[in-house]
Chain A
Amino acid sequence: MPSMLSLSKYWFFTFGIITIVIACQKDGEDETQYDVPQHFPEMMVPEDNAPTTTRIELGRHLFFDKNLSRDGTISCGSCHRPEMAFTDQNKLSKGIENRIGKRNAPTLLNSAFNTSFFFDGGVPTLELQVLAPIEEHTEMDFDIVAVAERLSNDEKYQEWSRKAYDRALDPFVIMRSIAAFERSLLSYESPFDAYYYQGQENAISTSAKKGWNLFRTREIGCINCHRPPLFTNQGFYHIGLTDNGDEGRRRVTGLEEDRGKFKTPTLRNLKYTYPYMHDGRFETLEEVVEHFNSGGISHPNKSSYIQPLNLTEEEKKQIIAFLNSLNDDSFKFKEGYQNPFQ
């Protein structure tokens, strides 16, 4: 029968071991959180892909790794360039061998909040989205199983993969880590954010304030689809654009009533995300505003929100001043957003 003294020694010893075990656990050390501001909605993150520093860092390296394309010439970052708010400023994106894609590359900033992906919404999660550009003939034209095989001898990737997901680098890891990185790409520090959400009255100009009031009036109604704070409602609409042969949402649903409908894009960072629309047909915001002012073409699928607006020249300028207040330059300076291979 041990004495009280020796019992207390046992407890002390046991406590010490438990403390060391906990302190040595890698998971806890690596956990992190996405930097979501209070005025943004809650970010939904899959249970098997909670953010850790290693997951995001592995994803960042894979995102900018040209080995993801068949001929090793392009990476995700070729069409989603950090300095261009993760777009490429081309009408249509270029894949390997200069193959021209079908649609304009969307910004990835705040894509964590999207409820579907691509202009037609055919993919439900950021993780699954990773597959499409890798496989698409006009993009990387490769195969994610082959990507994992190609990268299998990279010791750094394998070490990160084991630490991040407790398994060797495989499609599961590639999809999740790139998604984890993409979720970290946030933009919420525009002058409009300072004005509207932080009460800094002078953060935007008087003209921009007037533009904001026009933007949200019932008569003009931009806000019906471009809802703050993300400035998209994630819906699909025909906005009276002429048909360029892309059937839009119908490609996914098969419904005639979805022909020509495309997902509402965010209006944040338009300074960087030109040209505009699913096919990059408009170079300037003036052209975009003019399109909505005209009401576009007639079409049975056109949204009832799209009507001629009869805006004055002054009002058009005010709306554009407001749109420009949604530009946020801070993402350009965030180290964790940049290409690690440059």
Chain B
Amino acid sequence: MKIKIMLIVAAILSLAYSCKEEGCTNPSAINYNEDAEKDDGSCILPPPTTIALDVLPMYEDEVLELNKDYINITGDRIQFTDVKLIITNLKLNNQLVTDAAYFDYSEGTSMVTSEINITPGSYEGISFNIGVDEARNTADPAQYDPEHPLSINIAGNMHWSWNTGYIFYKIEGRYDLGNTGSGTPQENFVYHLGMNQYRKLWEDSNFNVDVQENETTPIALELDLSKVFYSETDTIYLSNGEDFTHTGPNQETLNIKLSNIFPNAINVVTQ
């Protein structure tokens, strides 16, 4: 008897339910149906509002090509074989937009972050750390989600295990001194810069961007590798043995130069 009653109730309920108007019940969807009482899975959500940060490696006015010959400021023939960079705490209008981004130029011709969610609006000023902030620099790289830019899965080759900390950037290549040798760059230069004292804040207060709702707004920066060897006050001389650092104490002079010069190589691409 009880079973019969339950079956009847269930049948009535399902009939009542199936009589409801079906449609998209999510108010955020572009096809939201305010009359719909039952969601039919048809909701189409608008595209998210995001930014995509692109750091385009350049050599002077052209896009950098790995393994291609260039003549640097001191007249040496050079080739780049690897360029990698970590930035943290990207802020627009002094608001944190993303906590970390990792760029690996050996993986492609451009270095673009995945799309970063952001509130639409007008933003003035951009800043980020070149490298990893102090609190996270010596933290466990295995603690992150495998997709996180600082995770050991993504940036494992940008992490020192003997003296816990991240490599902020790697610039590797070959050179031929004075362009007078064999003509083919054969000596290696290896710049791996890290450690808290060499981290720099990069900022441009004149930067501004309008982030449109439901669109991906690109933020284009360039990393001019020709400027990695000099600034107004410093010059790196490959001829003086300044071709290697793992940020060790014996390379302190080179570490300081690189740390001071590198921020000048990053600029906003003017539209």
Q: Which residues in B have their C-beta under 8 angstroms from that of A172? A: 140, 142-143
Contact B249 A250 (CB under 8 A): yes
Q: Which residues in A have their C-beta under 8 angstroms from that of B162? A: 118, 122-123, 132, 136
Contact B140 A128 (CB under 8 A): yes
Cα–Cα, bound, A127→B161 (Å): 11
Interface assignment of B164: CB less than 8 Å from any CB of chain A: yes
Cα–Cα, bound, A38→B64 (Å): 63
Of residues 181 to 201 in B, which have CB atoms within 8 Å of A's CB atoms? 195, 197
Contact A145 B249 (CB under 8 A): no
Contact B163 A122 (CB under 8 A): yes
Contact B161 A136 (CB under 8 A): yes
Q: Which residues in B have their C-beta under 8 angstroms from that of A132? A: 161-162
Q: Which residues in A have their C-beta under 8 angstroms from that of B138? A: 124
Residue from A120, A127, A170, A251 in contact with B146 in the complex, judged by beta carbons closer than 8 Å: A170
Of residues 71 to 105 in A, which have CB atoms within 8 Å of B's CB atoms? none
Instruction: Across the interface, name the chain A residue whose C-beta is closest to B151.
Output: A171
Interface assignment of B52: CB less than 8 Å from any CB of chain A: no
Whole-angstrom distance from the CB of A126 to the nearest CB of chain B?
11
- From DSSP, what is the main secondary structure of chain A's interface residues? helix
Instruction: Across the interface, name the chain B residue whose C-beta is closest to A133.
Output: B161
Contact B143 A252 (CB under 8 A): no
Interface assignment of A277: CB less than 8 Å from any CB of chain B: no
Interface assignment of A108: CB less than 8 Å from any CB of chain B: no
Contact A131 B161 (CB under 8 A): yes
Task: Report B232-269 CB contacts with A as 1/0, cut-off 8 Å.
Answer: 00000000000000001110100000000000000000
Interface assignment of B156: CB less than 8 Å from any CB of chain A: yes
Task: Report A151-186 CB contacts with B as 1/0, cut-off 8 Å.
Answer: 000000000000000000011100100000000000
Whole-angstrom distance from the CB of B136 to the nearest CB of chain A?
13
Q: Which residues in A have their C-beta under 8 angstroms from that of B195? A: 254
Instruction: Across the interface, name the chain A residue whose C-beta is closest to B163.
Output: A122
Instruction: Across the interface, name the chain A residue whose C-beta is closest to B255.
Output: A254
Contact A128 B249 (CB under 8 A): no
With A127-B140, A128-B140, A175-B142 as contacts: A122 and B164 at CB distance below 8 Å: yes
11 extra interface residue pairs, beta carbon distance < 8 Å, beyond A120-B163, A128-B140, A254-B197: A122-B163, A123-B162, A123-B164, A124-B138, A170-B146, A171-B153, A172-B142, A175-B140, A250-B249, A251-B248, A254-B252
Measured CB to CB, the residues of B under 8 A from A are 138, 140-143, 146, 152-153, 156, 159, 161-164, 195, 197, 248-250, 252
21 CB contacts below 8 A, A to B, read A118-B162, A123-B164, A124-B164, A125-B140, A132-B161, A134-B161, A144-B142, A144-B152, A145-B152, A145-B156, A170-B146, A171-B152, A171-B153, A172-B140, A172-B143, A250-B249, A251-B163, A254-B197, A254-B249, A255-B249, A256-B249
Closest 3 pairs (CB-CB, A-B): A122-B163, A131-B161, A254-B249
